[in-house]
Structure 1
Amino acid sequence: MVLNSFNRNSASIENLQLFTWSLQSRRSGQMLVSWWLGTRYANTVTQRSDPNLSVALNVGLIRGMIRLTGANNSRVTLQPPGALFAQQIVADDELMRAEKDYLHQFGKLSDAAISRRLARSL
């Protein structure tokens, strides 16, 4: 779902960690939105970790839904089965409504946009 929010369905693991972490609680979500909007400085460590992401990535790899690329496998890209699964989630208005609404406020994401947005307040 998060990868589907990125251009070309691909993101660095660091940014994927950040956005999956922000979905863990209302507080973490509000913190990322504040950083994104520049209303709160990202002077604290912005590299956040979702402990469940590694499990999700392993399942995605086994099922052929994602592929790891880049130096040290530092990027994650949705493969056709993963993109189809994400589109099925998007198409169901009731499924994961809160998560979809939350991610929608950021628009289409990219690693470059995240760096620009969060680096401006460092």
Structure 2
Amino acid sequence: MSEEGFLGAGDVLTHARVEFRSQPHPIPADARIVYKLAQIALVLNSFNRKSASIENLHLFTWSLQSRRRGQMLLSWWAGSRYSNTVTRRSDPHLAVALNVGLIRGLVSLSGANKNRVTLQPLGALLVQQIDSDSDLMSAEKTYLQQFNRLSDAAISRRLVRSS
């Protein structure tokens, strides 16, 4: 069939009008890759050696998603809530952001099962830039400072203590 036969003069498609309208559907902040990368960098910077297990990275980025979640983790940390009510949480946007962070050189994976995430120099530079502006991610920075210096071992000890 020729092109004219398919889209001939009498064909409806010839006279079809295509119209685009803007219908904004905002993406939640915690689903935005750049924001999630900044969260990851801040969390890893709070850990000894700027390195954490993926499980603990999930836990802390999950806790940054809302004030309620942050309070749940702080209650667990203080020993006033059982750890099993908090520690099995995951951040559904973390995997995508980690892949982008790996590609961009912000983080690296290590460990026998590639289950440790380490902040790389480029990621540390991102943290420095965030820290240089006191208004930028101030809620996240203030929240993470409440935990002092984090480590996978310290988190494991807290889990055992409050189970």
TM-score, with structure 1 as normaliser? 0.95
Select the residue among 66, 69, 78 that pairs with 1:25: 66
5 Å matches for 1:40-55?
Answer: 40-44=81-85, 46-55=87-96
- Corresponding residue for residue 101 of structure 1: 142
Is 1:83 paired with 2:142? no
TM-score, with structure 2 as normaliser? 0.72
- State the secondary structure of the residue aligned to 1:77: strand
Is 1:35 paired with 2:79? no
| Ranges in structure 2 where 5+ consecutive residues have no aligned partner | 1-41
Task: Give the Cα separation in 2 of the matches to 1:69 and 1:9.
Answer: 12
In the TM superposition, residue 8 of structure 1 has moved relative to its aligned partner by 0.7
Question: What letter corresponds to residue 48 of structure 1 in structure 2?
Answer: R
In the TM superposition, residue 45 of structure 1 has moved relative to its aligned partner by 5.6
- Corresponding residue for residue 107 of structure 2: 66
- State the secondary structure of the residue aligned to 1:116: helix
CA contact (8 A) 2:73 2:86 kept: no
Larger relative contact order (Cα-Cα within 8 Å, sequence gap ≥ 6) = 1
Task: Give the Cα separation in 2 of the matches to 1:56 and 1:32.
Answer: 22
Question: What letter corresponds to residue 137 of structure 2 in structure 1?
Answer: M
In the TM superposition, residue 68 of structure 1 has moved relative to its aligned partner by 0.3
Q: What CA RMSD, in Å, does the superposition of the two structures yield over aligned residues?
A: 1.0
Larger Rg: 2
Count matched residues: 122
